[in-house]
Amino acid sequence: MKYYILFGPPGAGKGTQAGAMAEKFNLRHISTGELLRGEIAAGTPLGLKAKALIDDGNLVPDEVVEGMIEDKFNTVTGVDGFLLDGFPRTEAQAVVLDEILGRRGEALSGVISIMIPDSMVMDRIRHRAEIEGRADDARDEVIRHRIETYHSKTEPLIAFYKSSGRYTEVDGTGTVEEVRERIFSIMK
């Protein structure tokens, strides 16, 4: 099995590229946000625990998210691997992911980070806001905060994966097709 993590700042094209990556390489795309919503809607034990926490105004703890991901690894069939989007978000989660994969006799195949300059993040999110009518995304201070959050939360994790030799950056500038070809060449 292959196990990939997809990183990138807001507006880098993760959502656009994830579907193509999953289709081309027969991977199950796991977005933690979608996963949580799905588990809650399905009424699974983990979903019920997550819903109770969220309903009480609490964050879902790492172990619940980790349990949901491990459950997907154990129950999804007919794929050649998984593409994680939104997990791990911390070094502690990265260590747990390695432990989960180790129990399966597997290892992380790689981390692909779609990189674009902060100025392009601003432009792309503004453009997306116009297209989708999202006024909150049109405010520069909101976009800057998202960029700062990405750098403060993700950069330590990037360093963690760089040190293990499992991290590759992809130039996210250019057309969707050009970026996709760069990603596919890494995954082959």
Tell me the fold of 2-187. Rossmann fold (3.40.50)
Is 14 one of the catalytic residues?
Answer: yes
Cβ-defined contacts of 136-141 (< 8 Å, 24+):
none
Q: What is the structure's pLDDT at 68?
A: 86
Sign of CA dihedral 141, 146, 151, 156: positive
Is 166 one of the catalytic residues?
Answer: no
- Domain range summary for the chain, segments of one domain joined by +: 2-187
Is 134 one of the catalytic residues?
Answer: yes
| Burial of residue 183 (number of CB atoms within 10 Å: 0-12, 13-18, 19+) | buried
Q: What is the pLDDT of residues 165-180, one digit of tens each?
A: 999 999 999 999 999 9
Q: Which of 14, 166, 180, 182 is catalytic?
A: 14
pLDDT band with cut points at 50, 70 and 90 for residue 100: very high
Q: Which of 104, 134, 144, 153 is catalytic?
A: 134
Q: What is the structure's pLDDT at 127?
A: 84
Is 182 one of the catalytic residues?
Answer: no
Q: What is the pLDDT of residues 71-94, one digit of tens each?
A: 999 999 999 999 999 889 888 899
Q: What is the structure's pLDDT at 126?
A: 86
Give how far Cα 34 sits from Cα of 43, 44, 84, 106, 162, Å: 14, 14, 11, 24, 27
Q: Which of 89, 126, 139, 162 is catalytic?
A: 89
Radius of gyration of the chain (CA): 17
